[in-house]
Amino acid sequence: MLTNLFFSKVSAMSGFQDYFIIFLIWLISIILIRTLFKKRTSSGLPPSPRALPIIGHLHLLTPIPHQALHKLSNFHGPLIHLLLGSVPCVVASSAEMAKEFLKTHETSFSNRPQTAAIDFLTYGSQDFSFAPYGPYWKFMKKLCMSELLGGRTLDLLHPVRKDEIRRLVCLLSNKADAGEAVDVGGELIRMSNNVISRMIMNERCSGEEDEAGEVRKMVQEVIELTGKFNLSDFIWFCKNLDLQGFRKRLKDVQVRFDAMMERIIERHQEERRNRKENGDGDGGNVVKDLLDILLDISEDENSQMRLTRENIKAFILDIFAAGTDTSAITTEWALAELINHPNIMNKAILEIDSVVGRERLVEESDIENLPYLQSIVKETLRLHPTGPMIIRESSEDCAIEGYHIPAKTRLFVNVWAIGRDPDHWEDPLEFRPERFSGEDGTGKSPLDVRGQHFHLLPFGSGRRGCPGTSLALQVVQTSLATMIQCFQWKVGDGGNGTVDMEEGPGLTLPRAHSLVCVPVARINPLSFM
């Protein structure tokens, strides 16, 4: 019996070894074939570091990819070729290279790559941000610029932004009276989430249990899942495997988000039916939220393109994901820089006091008369762009600077590195808003952040540039101006410390450590609110 057991184990081990040897031979054969094929087809590609079998250059990336890619570009040049697992990529790290890809060859790089997370959460790219370049995307782009995020809609929703900033000021004033520290980033994220939530569905987040609070939690999960490395997106033979358990988490988030959006849409439709029954079919004097506008378009039989339920839900997820963290993080970085540069903070205070005074809160309409404040925001976006990399994918073969770029090559434009390029910026690591002050005596620089100047691309450029730039600037500039006007900010023991400026991992360039400060009132904003 023991002999039979021994031989059965040996036989089982022998069978396992046979399968393992067959698998090893197959794997080595595949690697050799792909290596030989690569050698034949890689001629004409941009410079590249040495790659490893299977994983390519994945081992060269760190938890903060834009920093790792910047180091590689310093050694290999402003245009390099990488193989991230099975995915061919090119990295552009200079303004000149960015212009080649985003302007000269814009048509070839108008698509965004699809990942498992994006495909799943956007109902198969039924959204706007990741939809393929084509008729639907063009329709949604036009809609964003004219209706959803255009000037008229932003003007109508101005009271929402104003109210949320005032609520933030009230909270900070109470903290100042109590001498308590504030997690500035956390409060800014809460404020921007409320702005987006009220703009989309006329509901603010008052707690974790309401719908807006649930949306906020789910958006954080979406940002986390889309920002994490997923093996199946990069290693070709892992494509249909879920080795990290992402698929289960994605399905859970998608099901919960879908159910919630169905409830919100049904409630909106019920309110719309009630208005029609009461003879107020077009809403009268009611300010429509973005969901109302989307429902109007979906019900319009004469619309150029009818929006589906999936289009609406995916677009709303886009707005939440793109608008919640980005504005808050930019404002947090700007305040951190000002705390570390008190001379710049004092200049900003003097400007606001001279233009606005100390008897009322700064308004959005004041921003055009605060050029130094605008320069502070521009300088913040240069050093700390909330989109540190622009990501595209080529739809066809093309030639860039004499190099062959095949179709389906992923493009990374390193905005973070371009903003620190000494060829375009004097003392690039210094925080110096004066570089945007202009030379015409007006205090304003023609250098803008909207994608026309390729050494400053915080909102992207061209067709797929960020459609929410105007909204983001309004929220950032007004909230920052209000925080400067109303409070001094103390950090560390005795209130004279400096702020750590280390970056953390993430898609939107978060700080490694939260900005925790004690606000000290400069004026009493509650007296004129």
Which CATH number characterizes residue 191's domain?
1.10.630.10
Residue 491 lies in a domain: yes
Residue 323 lies in a domain: yes
Contact predicate 91/414, CB 8 Å: yes
Residue 234 lies in a domain: yes
Residue 14 lies in a domain: no
Residue 193 lies in a domain: yes
Contact predicate 106/396, CB 8 Å: no
Go through 499-508 and write b for each residue having 16 or more CB atoms within 10 A of its CB, e for each that does not: beeebeebbb
pLDDT of residue 344: 98
Residue 84's alpha-carbon distances to 56, 114, 408, in angstroms, are 5, 15, 13
> Can you list the positions of beta strands (E) in 75-183?
79-84, 87-92, 182-183
Angle between helices 184-201 and 211-227 (to 10 degrees): 110
- Domain containing 257 equals 135-528
Residue 293's alpha-carbon distances to 219, 370, 467, in angstroms, are 22, 33, 17
Cα–Cα distance, 190 to 128 (Å, whole number): 25
Residue 10 lies in a domain: no
Residue 281 lies in a domain: yes
pLDDT of residue 286: 66
Cα–Cα distance, 291 to 148 (Å, whole number): 9
pLDDT of residue 418: 98
Measure CA of the first residue to CA of the last residue in the chain; give whole Å: 90
Cα–Cα distance, 385 to 151 (Å, whole number): 24
The DSSP letter of residue 288 is: P
In 356-468, which ranges are continuous DSSP H helix?
A: 371-383, 415-418
**Number of domain units in the chain:** 1
389-393 and 182-183 beta bridge pairing: unpaired
pLDDT of residue 9: 35
Residue 66 lies in a domain: no
DSSP states of 329-382: HHHHHHHHHHHH-HHHHHHHHHHHHHHT-SSS---GGGGGG-HHHHHHHHHHHH
In a structure prediction context, what are the per-residue pLDDT tens digits for the chain, which is 529 residues long? 433 433 333 333 344 455 555 555 556 656 655 555 454 445 699 999 999 998 999 999 988 999 999 999 999 999 999 999 999 999 999 999 999 999 999 999 999 998 888 888 899 999 999 999 999 999 999 989 888 888 999 999 999 999 999 999 999 999 999 999 999 999 999 999 899 989 998 888 765 556 666 777 787 888 788 878 888 889 888 888 888 888 888 889 889 989 988 998 999 999 888 888 877 655 555 678 899 999 999 998 888 888 999 999 999 988 988 888 899 999 999 999 999 999 999 999 999 999 999 999 999 999 999 999 999 999 999 999 999 999 999 999 999 999 999 999 999 999 999 999 999 999 999 999 999 987 544 567 788 999 999 999 999 999 999 999 999 999 999 999 999 999 999 998 777 789 999 999 888 899 999 999 999 999 988 887 7
89 is in an annotated binding site: no
